[in-house]
Structure 1
């Protein structure tokens, strides 16, 4: 099934069930008002939502209305936890190679992860508001999962059983703030503003056999200012699957229902063509494009995002239809007082 949260003037919005074709929706008020309620009581409430979903798809829901992504908050407008990994080691290799730095061996066996702000997510069509262009504004197209309860010490296989929903994410980065923060040895903070998520979150059955071994084997599309810049395959080159990422968190603590875990920037390896490395599938963040340019030409030539720029992130199923709806955002300065 597909679930979204509509804006209603409150912090947490109203839960709606969305049809498979993203054409219609129905408030889930009679079952649950908020997505977090469903995650807290999944075995009891999700079958009821599934029944409503099937009725909606059959065109028999009496109070259905046209679905409008612009009315959506993030599926979980605020969450108990947002932990973002860097599961595509090719992304790390590119960035490090561009600055002539080796990737530590442990990066291939132990996932990188940071804990981001989870109290103020962006809706899929909300502006990305940044104080200054000079901060180095970058998009990051990612896959994310929402979990149920997963106990401390869970194995990767056990952790996979805790995956409840899939989403897309735009994990915005302020690249020019990152070096100074990392130099402190305490990780990202101001360089990671609010993250945006896709209009809908979907259950695993919606993606069929594209979900294999904790990886989503579909193409993630990124379009910057209307130009397609990324057609990256999300499955084959994901070094750490979602079970491993969740288990990484579970090493020393429980993961509670409503936690969101991100994949990190989806990234694919380059190919050698006529003695030169090329990246035909493009990129899912500008920092990677700049790393590619540095490797090829000795310096980056692509600038980061400016006010007025747009980013669109979307993934289509094997039938060619949009699975999650699209993240469509504009970069904007703060409103004048």
Structure 2
């Protein structure tokens, strides 16, 4: 099944997408509240929809517009290797030991066709093509064998990145945080695991992933090339703590899924950073297409943020 959230006349509405029509759930019902049993919710929408609207007549929001948390991992070795080249390094040995992640900003979630502003003070803006799993049932200290049963579905994710700000903050052995917190694009659809089962391969699914800027393809990969599985990611995330319904766990960028990797492999002249007016299109077969225009962002404030030095 494929679910969407769209902007209704009186707020966000959730519904089941069938072909090019949305079978709406009752007003006030959110997908995040149904993640424990999406098949039942879909059957109810088909049986007795609150409304049926053409897909092209609605503005899609992120399927989960306000996730409790967003964790972002690094599971594609090709991407890690390519970005490491930008720093004159190789893949760290520790990367192979566990699926590392950071927390990004749940307040920065945007819909699949929303404009994305350049972060204040950013001069090197980038995109990142990923696929995220959404937790349907919470848990703590989950095993890898248990964790797969806690996935409600999958969706397309773009982890927009202010590379210059990211590198600055990582010099103090923190981050990436501020370099990532202006926008994370999710959607257009949340797809249940059973619909993807025929494509199961490796650690994910044998489906193509494509990233383009202004209509020109800049990178491709296959989703199945993940070096860690989603159950491994969830088990690690839940170790000593909780995952909860609605939590979003991003795969990390696929091979060729960002400009930073292109710069690492081919040099900084390979592609200009994103700037206002650019359109980024990312696609994963069965999960749909995101198409976002980069726009001017806010100017950084003139506040003095420097620390007081000890004498």
User: Do the structures match in fold with TM over 0.5?
Assistant: yes
1:290 aligns with 2:263: yes
Match of 1:203 in 2: 192
Give the superposition deviation at 1:106.
Answer: 1.4
Distance 1:308 1:66 in 2: 29
1:260-293 deviations in Å (ceiling 9; x for gaps):
00000011xxxxxxxxxxxxxxx21011111111
Distance change (3 Å), C-alpha of 1:313 and 1:36: same
Which residue number in structure 2 is paired with residue 37 of structure 1? 33
Aligned partner of residue 34 in structure 2, secondary structure: helix
Residue matched to 1:51: 43
Q: Tell me the residue number matched to 1:326.
A: 289
Structure 2 partner of 1:13: 12
- Pairing of 1:63-212 with structure 2 (within 5 A): 63-68=51-56, 71-131=59-119, 134-192=122-180, 193-212=182-201
| Correspondence for 1:312 | 281
CA distance in 2, matches of 1:140, 1:69: 28
For residues 51 and 213 of structure 1, the distance between their equivalents in structure 2, rounded to whole angstroms, comes to 31
Stretch of structure 1 that moved more, 88-97 or 109-118: 88-97
Q: Report SS of the residue matched to 1:119.
A: helix
Preserved contact between residue 144 and residue 169 of structure 1 (Cα < 8 Å): yes
Name structure 2 gaps, 5 residues minimum. Answer: 300-311
Contact residue 141 and residue 266 of structure 1 kept, 8 A: yes
Contact 1:70 1:125 in 2 (8 A): no
Distance, in Å, in 2 between the alignment partners of 1:133 and 1:302 is 20
Provide the alpha-carbon RMSD of the alignment: 2.3
The two structures have a TM-score, normalised by structure 2, of 0.88
Instruction: Decide whether aligned partners of structure 1 residues 51 and 149 sit closer, same or farther in structure 2, where only a CA change above 3 A counts.
Output: closer
Q: CA deviation at 1:254?
A: 1.2
Q: Which moved more, 1:61-70 or 1:116-125?
A: 61-70
Against the structure 1 CA distance between its residues 50 and 68, is the aligned structure 2 distance closer, same or farther, given a 3 Å change threshold? same
Question: 22, 26, 30: which is aligned to 1:25?
Answer: 22
Q: Is the Cα–Cα contact under 8 Å of residues 3 and 75 in structure 1 kept in the other structure?
A: yes
> 1:301-328: CA deviations, max 9, x gaps?
3211110000111222xxxxxx233111
Q: TM-score, normalised by structure 1?
A: 0.82
Contact 2:120–2:298 (Cα < 8 Å) also in 1: no
What is the CA distance between 1:54 and its match in structure 2?
A: 5.4
Q: How many residues align?
A: 298
| Number of the residue aligned with 2:304 | none
**Deviating 4+ runs (over 6 angstroms):** none
